[in-house]
Structures are given as structure tokens and as C-alpha cells.
């Protein structure tokens, strides 16, 4: 069963300038998928449409067989590109909030992941660095037992030394029957964990997609090299 179906999806912010135009994609359960493309190609817009934060101009979205709404949102754990927490809150207060709000939230996992990164759960959010705030947000997202994880640039705001740990955290802390969609421009760092990839260009056009390992074998190139070659043309 496909966890995600997008059919003829169109979204514009300005009249006659579509960010996504007749966009179609089907993503099965149990995959880690990289949604890869230049800034402004519609990656973040697509994530917001799937999560229900934006409404499409036309087209259909189905998550686990459900149209966008209460039932679909219950299946999704979404990491936005920017931190949205109230900076006056403490980390453990945010954990309590998530525990109350999400039935599938595992607070024990959240505290364990915080300990792995030596993040004090009693710390005030405003006292943390930008990178640490983003780590906290990722931990909260991955501590849900969701069916579809939408991770928008999860490693963009952290130092290179932390990226490997964050990617291993993503891979090892989700239900393997679930699906993860990751947007990023740091393809070299993320391609090691991808099962599938989608190259997206402006207007939300898919110009290449498929199995990551098969693409590397067929082309004799990494996804990063293939990406540079495709977008150079």
C-alpha cells in the first residue's frame, strides 16, 4: 500500500506562477525517500501541503488512504524547516506538551535521545544554540510512532560532526513499516540513508526518480554527482 498519493497537485503563491503544477507522486510504506532539488523548487511547499498547513489550489493528497484532515494528520510527524517552539519554554515542558497532544508520542524515547546528545531537559530553549534547538525539535518528531515522517532540511542547521549522528537517529528511531521523506540540499550527507530519491525542479516538476542504489549502479555515480549532472543540463 502507498502511504502517500499526490494527484494533479497545483499550488501557486502568485497568480499564474505555480510552485507546484500538476504534481503526481506515489510513495510506498517502509521507505526512506530523498526529495532533492534547488531552493524554490517546491520541496517545503509540498511538505506543508501534505501536513495540512497549506491548502492546494487543485488536486488530491491521500495519506494512508485518508484525504488531508484529522485522520491524515494523526499519521504524520512533521519537522518544519524552521524552529517554531516558544523560546520561553523548557525542553521538558515541550515534551509534556507533545505527550499530551500526540497519542503516539514516546516520552521515554525523547529523554533517551536527549541524554545521547547531552542536552539538559531542564534547559530553557532560549539558552540553547540554534543547532541544539533543531536537534531538540528532531528528537521530538522522531519520538512519535507515526506512519509518515516529513523532515524538511533536518541536517541543514547543524555542524558536520553532528550530521552522522542525526541521520543515524532518524534511521534507528522510527517504525521500519513507516516512511520518511527528507528534503535537503546536502545530498552527499544524506544519500547514505536513502532507499529512493526524487529530483525536483522549478514548478514542482519531477525530472528523475527511482531506487537510490540502482541509480548509483546504473550511472556509476553518486546521487550527488548525478544531481549536479542533471541540473547542469
Beta-ladder partners of 28: 2
Mean pLDDT, the chain cut into blocks of 10 residues (233 residues total): 94 86 94 92 95 95 96 95 84 95 94 92 92 88 95 80 78 85 88 94 91 95 92 73
Q: What pLDDT score was predicted for residue 156?
A: 76
Whether pTM exceeds 0.75 = yes
Q: What pLDDT score was predicted for residue 70?
A: 94
Q: What pLDDT score was predicted for residue 93?
A: 96
**Residues 129-140, buried b or exposed e (16+ Cβ, 10 A)?**
eeebbbbbbbbb
CA angle 22-26-31, nearest 5°?
140
Q: What pLDDT score was predicted for residue 168?
A: 81
Domains (ranges, CATH) in the chain?
2-232 (3.40.50.300)
Q: Are strands 196-201 and 179-184 parallel, antiparallel or unpaired?
A: unpaired
Q: What pLDDT score was predicted for residue 174?
A: 76
Q: What pLDDT score was predicted for residue 157?
A: 67
Distance from C-alpha of 204 to C-alpha of 200, rounded to nearest angstrom: 6
Distance, C-alpha 41 to centroid of its chain: 15
Amino acid at each position: 500500500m502507498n502511504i502517500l498519493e499526490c494527484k494533479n497537485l497545483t499550488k501557486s503563491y502568485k497568480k499564474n506562477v505555480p510552485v507546484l503544477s500538476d504534481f503526481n507522486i506515489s510513495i510506498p510504506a517502509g521507505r526512506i525517500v530523498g526529495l532533492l532539488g534547488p531552493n524554490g523548487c517546491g520541496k517545503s511547499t509540498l511538505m506543508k501541503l501534505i501536513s495540512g498547513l497549506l491548502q492546494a489550489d487543485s488536486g488530491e493528497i491521500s495519506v494512508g488512504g485518508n484525504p488531508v484532515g484529522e485522520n491524515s494528520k494523526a499519521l504524520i510527524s512533521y519537522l518544519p524547516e524552521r524552529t517554531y517552539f516558544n523560546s520561553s519554554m523548557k525542553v521538558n515542558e515541550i515534551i509534556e506538551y507533545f505527550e499530551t497532544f500526540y497519542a503516539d508520542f514516546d516520552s521515554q524515547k525523547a529523554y533517551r535521545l536527549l541524554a545521547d546528545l547531552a542536552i539538559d531537559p531542564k534547559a530553557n530553549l532560549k539558552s540553547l544554540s540554534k543547532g541544539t534547538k533543531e536537534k531538540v525539535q528532531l528528537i521530538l518528531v522522531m519520538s512519535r510512532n507515526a506512519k509518515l515522517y516529513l523532515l524538511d532540511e533536518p541536517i541543514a542547521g547543524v555542524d558536520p560532526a553532528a550530521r552522522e549522528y542525526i541521520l543515524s537517529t532518524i534511521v534507528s528511531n522510527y517504525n521500519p513499516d513507516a516512511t520518511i521523506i527528507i528534503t535537503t540540499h546536502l545530498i552527499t550527507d544524506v544519500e547514505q540513508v536513502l532507499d529512493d530519491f526524487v529530483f525536483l525542479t522549478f514548478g514542482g516538476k519531477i525530472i528523475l526518480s527511482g531506487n537510490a542504489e540502482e541509480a548509483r549502479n546504473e550511472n556509476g555515480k553518486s546521487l550527488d554527482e548525478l544531481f549536479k549532472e542533471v541540473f547542469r543540463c
